[in-house]
Chain A
Amino acid sequence: MHPFTGFALLPPLLLLTLRLTDARALAALLVVLLVLVWMGGEHRVRLRRWALLMLPLAAGLWLVHGRYLDSLVFGADVADRPQRLYAAALLWLRVGCLLAGAQVALRLAPPARLTRALFASRLPPSVAYLLASPLLLSVQLRRRLAEVTEAQRARGVDPAAPWPQRARTLIALAGPLVVWTLSDVGERANALDARAFRSVPCRTTLDAPAFTARDRALLAAALAAFVLVAGSWLWR
């Protein structure tokens, strides 16, 4: 499957989550999406990432929309609390659906293939590089952080120290990472130049992900779904 195809499923999903106004229907959709995430590779990481965003969001929405602060501090009238909380729940479910959908799409597009697809696309190479750079950078930054941590541990920085000490640790670790990343920018530009990046308008891409009949069918299905949901909305 072409890495871009997965992302084509997101617009109809967005529309669908906006269209559904019943919490139970949204919850069902969310469960389906989470099961899809769970079925794919690296599901532990992906689900944790989803939870790390969604749980604090739930707490925030509950505090703000439930008007607990208002009622406690100012004694505000909170008779409409259930309605407000229901609206917040709908919002939370929508965001959750979209994030889960994005995780599904990302699973269909591993970074290596997505980068390749970007470079093989009709986008100018510089734009492709710009779009791909978050994918490329995260791998490198993680690696660098591991190296910096190791070097600093050898000098007595304790990554597992209690919190007050850890603040100092973080500074000791963040410093080299920032310095490195900055010094890297020039180095990276030189490396790209040295490999004739953007020297000719049309570059070749080895093993460019092919856009198959299946991708076309899925894209058509996504488009059809989009039209269908939009149509049903307008019809009402």
Chain B
Amino acid sequence: MALIRFAQASLTRAGATAPCLSCIDFALPAGQTLAVVGGSGSGKSTLAGWLAGWVPHALPATEAGVAEFDGAPLSGALPAVRAGQVQLVQGNPYAALTGCAFTVYDEVAFGPENLGLCEEEIRARCREALALCDAEALAVRAPSTLSGGEAQRVALACALAMRPRLLLLDEAFNRLTPAAADRLLERLRVLPMLTLVLFEKSFERAAGADLMLWLDGGVQRACAEAGVLFDRVLPALTASDAVRAAWRSRAADLWRDGVAAPCSAADALTRFAEVADG
């Protein structure tokens, strides 16, 4: 059964007449990865907030259509109650800091403490989350002194320590180097029992997902595999020069039928070679 299910769903902000998100229609089975892509202002962060259970408490809005998490309506539950299930890591990592902690370790432990878990369990979670994010060395630092990249690792560790079933990453790695971001994402993908939703404007970071959903001006344009959407979606997204070269070649009909679109720069090298040699 699908963990997340949207059917002709739309969201209208309080006080607005036109919906800020519409035609949202997809189903994501547990354990899979979805990438929501689109340019600036395409509605990615709004969808992230909706999935995080912010409606209507933190995001005053009304919804129409079907929007379900684990078979129950997505909105209405208190955000604090949903936090054990769903975690959202935002692009601005400083937004994740509660300000209730004087060290990074305390900040990571704050969530599990609120769940009323036993001390050993909390310590185990903190250890594991900090290790996964390569943030052990930051444990004794004061959260307010972290640089952007460091804060991003900590924000992710805070979310992971809650052991969510659904992890929403809203450009959560944009302050890390590309190599560090890829490494972290790879580790998250292999975590058992975790469903991931990425919100990205970078095609390549998104292309590794099982499913890609394209938002444009708050409207879902398409939802399919990355390779299928490649030709339509790339102009709106950022991508490496090699991948963009592949897009232009395909558009100019300088490509070979049967050779798939690349989903990374490394992939582009192989695909171009296939076209050239084939």
Contact = CB atoms under 8 A, between A and B. Distances in A.
Is A–B contact present in the complex under a CB 8 A cutoff? yes
Interface of A: 111-112, 115, 119, 125, 129, 132, 136-137, 139-140, 143, 186-200, 202-206
A190 B89 CA distance: 12
B18 interface: no
Given A143-B144, A203-B113, A204-B122, A196 B83 contact: yes
A196 B102 contact: no
Contacts of B99: 136-137, 140, 188, 191
B113 A193 contact: no
B158 interface: yes
Given A111-B102, A140-B99, 9 more contacts: A143-B144, A192-B100, A195-B111, A196-B114, A199-B83, A204-B116, A206-B119, A206-B122, A206-B123
B97 A191 contact: yes
Given A204-B116, A205-B113, A194 B100 contact: no
26 contacts: A119-B100, A119-B113, A129-B100, A132-B100, A137-B99, A188-B99, A190-B95, A191-B97, A193-B79, A195-B110, A196-B83, A196-B84, A196-B111, A196-B114, A197-B110, A197-B114, A199-B80, A199-B83, A199-B114, A199-B115, A203-B115, A204-B112, A204-B113, A204-B119, A204-B122, A206-B106
Interface in B101-135: 102-103, 106, 109-119, 122-123
A129 B97 CA distance: 14
Contacts of B57: 193
B116 A202 contact: yes
Contact of B114 (A143, A189, A200): A200
Interface in B162-203: 162
B165 to A, nearest CB: 14
B16 interface: no
A191 B98 contact: yes
B35 interface: no
B88 interface: yes
A37 to B, nearest CB: 23
A203 B144 contact: no
Contacts of A143: 144-145
B54 interface: yes
A205 B112 CA distance: 10
B80 A198 contact: yes
Interface string B74-101: 0000111101100110000001111110
Nearest to A129: B100
B102 A112 contact: yes
A115 B109 CA distance: 14
B115 A200 contact: yes
A71 B84 CA distance: 71
B158 A195 contact: yes
B52 interface: yes
Contact of B96 (A191, A199, A202): A191
Contacts of A196: 80-81, 83-84, 111, 114-115, 162
Nearest to A147: B144
A192 B119 CA distance: 20
Contact of B144 (A119, A132, A139): A139
Contacts of B97: 191
Contacts of B106: 112, 206
Contacts of B100: 115, 119, 129, 132, 136, 192
A112 B57 CA distance: 31
Contacts of B78: 193, 199
B81 A192 contact: no
Given A136-B99, A136-B100, A204-B113, A194 B118 contact: no
Contacts of A136: 99-100
B245 interface: no
Contacts of A192: 80, 98, 100
A29 B159 CA distance: 52
Nearest to B109: A206
A192 B96 CA distance: 8
Most-contacted residue by chain A among B52, B87, B114, B117 (CB, 10 A):
B114
Contact of B95 (A129, A137, A191, A203): A191
B58 interface: yes
Nearest to B155: A191
